[in-house]
Amino acid sequence: MRKFYNDYLDSGIKPEKSLFVGIVFLVVVISGVFGWVYEYIFYWINGGFDKFYWRGGNFLPWINIYAYGSLMIWFLTLKLRKKPLLVFIISFVSTGILEFFSGLGVYLITGLKYWDYDTEILGFGSIYGFVCLRSVTVFGIFGLLLVYVMLPGIYYLAVKLPKKVFLVTAVILFAVFLGDDIYNLIFANLFSLPSAQEVYKSIGFNFMDYTR
């Protein structure tokens, strides 16, 4: 295992293209779930340990900005595995840019703030509520976990599991989570179908109120 990890750090692991696709799919799924768990816990604390809030706009426990942000960090740090400080800095800066412009874009389109750090604990350094020092520091730490824990673990599964088992598992998981995301982002709006938030609110789940 140690040799495998050292090979990973040295970029000595080069899986075939089909396995690489499966790795990408699992990174997207696991990162999205990880982000959901983080926000679920944080907003429970932020609310004074009073209520649990369902985060994100999907039926499944998955938040897309974490999923796609993880791909950004991965490819930006692809050749920097031996430089954890640089990995942290790149993760810190790049996710801050992604978060700021994602929040600003949603606000300009909908008039709503899907998150607002001006109203939350530990929101120091907030820039218009879209990004703050705490958020980018946490994302920098998540970048380290991604590069030094999650990715080598997924690489290990890719080379140790039977190829078909790994790929079928990765494709099914990715298809399910992506389908959920597409439904709620596109089809629920285009065809006036019930969204995840509407369904969950109707059965008593708590959601954070958006601000303007």
Q: What is the pLDDT of residue 146?
A: 97
CA 83 to chain centre: 22
pLDDT, mean of residues 88-97: 98
Q: Which residues lie across from 113 on neighbouring strands?
A: 211
pLDDT in tens, 12-43: 677 788 899 999 999 999 999 999 999 999 99
Q: Which helix (H) or strand (E) segment is 171 a member of?
A: helix 163-182
Q: What is the pLDDT of residue 3?
A: 84
Q: What is the pLDDT of residue 99?
A: 97
Q: Is 135 left (phi over 0), alpha (psi -120 to 50) or beta?
A: alpha
Q: Is the confidence at residue 84, as pLDDT, over 80?
A: yes
pLDDT, mean of residues 103-132: 93
Q: What is the pLDDT of residue 9?
A: 86
**Whole-angstrom distance, CA of residue 65 vs CA of residue 114:** 12
pLDDT, mean of residues 207-212: 74
Please state the φ and ψ torsions of residue 193, each to the nearest 5 degrees: -90, 155
**The residue type at 34:** F
pLDDT in tens, 109-121: 989 898 999 999 9
pLDDT in tens, 160-199: 999 999 999 999 999 999 999 999 999 999 999 999 999 9
Helices (H), 10-162: 17-46, 64-76, 84-110, 133-145, 151-160
Query: Please, are residues 28 and 68 in contact by the beta-carbon 8 Å criterion?
Result: yes
